[in-house]
Chains A and B, each alone.
Chain A
Amino acid sequence: MLKLENIAKDFGGLRVLNGVSFEISEGQIFGLIGPNGAGKTTVFNIISGLLKPSSGRIIFNKSDITNQPPHVVTEQGISRTFQNIRVFEDMSLLENILVGMHRLFSYSSVSMFFDLPKKKKEEKQLREKAMDILSIVHLTEKADLKAGGLSYGEQRKLELARALATEPKLLLIDEPAAGMNPAETEELMNEIKLINKNGYTICLIEHDMKVIMGICGYVAVMNFGEIIAEGSPEEIRKEKLVIEAYLGKDEKSA
């Protein structure tokens, strides 16, 4: 479904990504892990069009999306959340979702100006749909509150719902469990599994190994801008390079 071919990224002479290649197949929950600064978020930024790769190609469902601007990438069916939460704080939860759904609105500016039935009907229908999306992350009760007033965990879930609202085929989720307590994390895992079951392919960056081991079908490990291992969670757990990357080399045995 999504294929990265030899992606490299330099930030003013500093090579942050080097020959990154991997493939995500349809229906997967794909985990992307690695220590701090490994380059995971940079990979997301490049896929979503916020950064241009220095070299390499990105193929999504057979079309080349390398160097496409973000809104085109989203139109193609890739949506994402942000590691440093970025909800629209001054808007209500419902409005956050409606922004994500903006492409589903078809009424004209004339309908808007004269408040014609077509506009009223469409707003009503799509608001109901937005409520359905909020219910996936269990936030319907707070629909009319300002997003800025939510807890961290709730804001992360709202971002997830807002990304879903763009009707993506592939969802990129950057550290959703950060700042969540164990109960929230548990609920989040169930929600992600449910989203996946409903036909969305998922790529997940996460430091919490319980989450990765619990829901990912396939995992790629990054360190210093390179993919150092990939495979099923069980394979990854045993991989020596991965243990070294996370715990540092054991100097006595080396």
Chain B
Amino acid sequence: MEKFQRGKGNGLTDLITSFWQTYNTLIYTIFVHGMLALSIYITLACGQLSLGNAAFMGIGAYTSALLTMKMNAPFGLSLIAGGMMPAAVALIIGIPTLRLSGVYLAMATLGFGEVVRVAFLNMSITGGSLGLNGVPLKTELWHLVLVIGIFIYFFIRLRDSRFGRILEAINEDEVVASVMGIKTTYFKVWAFTIGAFIAGVAGGLNAHFTFFISPREYGFEPAVDILTFAILGGTRTLWGPLAGSTVLTTLPELFRFLGPYRLAVNGLILLLVVLYLPNGIVSKETFKNIKKIFNGSGCLN
């Protein structure tokens, strides 16, 4: 009798343990992708389409991994350095490129990403195409929760502040913003730099649980993925990109039984969202539709 009850308890803990063992990487990845989604959100919030965040993530990942591996730096310090390094790079490349707008900025930042990837491939300190093997496993769940919590808190504070309003003004009408006396390039560079910092920290956290990093993780494809998080989720509030990244990271797991076709599901969902919710999952339309459905007239539009 006693044995049986203990057995039951163990059964539950076993279940949790086995769930955690199967899905911990997925859960970690959801957090990292959430941070990446926030990193592009801040540039989109001032109307800038920057595709450099995968490269910034890479710079952060290599910086922090090398610091812990080669110099035995404390984890916290290497994470901060992993954010500062891409932020410094962003500051330097942001000043000339953020005078560009729209698709030209997107192209310039994509080109920058390619330069960074090739640099990772060819430098000896980054381990070339083999990448870095044996990055110490230091990232724990509470680190991720704490860090994303700080970033979310920052964005909430931003909303009713001078800086937040300036970014919104630039987003709505850059010409008018400049006529209001706003140094638009200055604030765009700041948004870009903060985005690079967030992406770099995400890269550092990611490197310290995947054990292994290589240049291909920071190329064109992840750059587009990050943008997709934001577009799918919607960019009106910070919750949009977070929702987008969570959905797009979880779905391939749920549709694992579809085998190689599971990535097509992501594509399909993206297509449906763009068609029916052009402002993303977290948008006014969605709330209106949900209300309508509860009021009994469940039609879109």
State the A residues within 8 Å of B (CB): 48-50, 69-71, 74-75, 79-80, 82, 86, 88-91, 95, 98-100, 102-103, 105, 107, 109, 112-113, 115, 119, 123, 162, 166
Cα separation A112 to B164 with both chains bound (whole Å): 10
Contact (Cβ within 8 A) A86 B181 = no
Name which residue of chain B comes closest to A115, CB basis: B157
CA distance A115 to B159 in the complex (A): 12
Contact partner, A70, options B165, B166, B169, B178, Cβ 8 Å: B178
Nearest A residue (CB) for B186: A71
Chain B residue numbers with a CB within 8 Å of A115 are 157
* A109-B163, A112-B157 as given contacts; A88 in contact with B184, CB under 8 Å: no
Contact residue among B154, B163, B179 (Cβ-Cβ distance under 8 Å from A50): B179
Q: CA–CA, A88 to B167, complex, Å?
A: 12
Report the minimum CB–CB distance from A165 to chain B (whole Å): 8
> Inside 8 A of A162's CB, which chain B residues have their CB?
180
* CB-defined A-B contacts under 8 Å, sample of 6: A49-B178, A70-B175, A70-B178, A74-B181, A98-B165, A103-B181
In the assembled complex, which residues on chain A have CB atoms less than 8 Å from the CB atom of B184? 71
Q: What per-residue 1/0 map shows which CB atoms of B120-155 lie under 8 Å from chain A?
A: 000000000000000000000000000000000010
Question: Shortest distance in angstroms between B52's beta carbon and chain A's nearest beta carbon?
Answer: 23
Contacting A at CB under 8 A, from B157-190, are 157-158, 160-163, 165-166, 168-169, 172-173, 175-184
- Cβ distance B164 to chain A, nearest Cβ, rounded Å: 9
Q: Is there contact, CB below 8 Å, between B161 and A112?
A: yes
Question: Is the CB–CB distance between A71 and B172 below 8 Å?
Answer: no
Question: Which residues from A are CB-within-8-Å of B178?
Answer: 49-50, 69-71, 74
Contact A102 B180 (CB under 8 A): yes
Bound CA–CA A98/B165 (angstroms): 8
In the complex, the answer to whether A86 meets B165 with C-beta atoms within 8 Å is no
B82 CB to nearest chain A CB (Å): 20
Q: Which residues of B contact A103 (CB under 8 A)?
A: 181
Q: Which residue of B154, B162, B181 contacts A113 across the interface (Cβ within 8 Å)? A: B154
Residues on the A chain within 8 Å of B162, using CB: 98, 102, 105, 107, 112
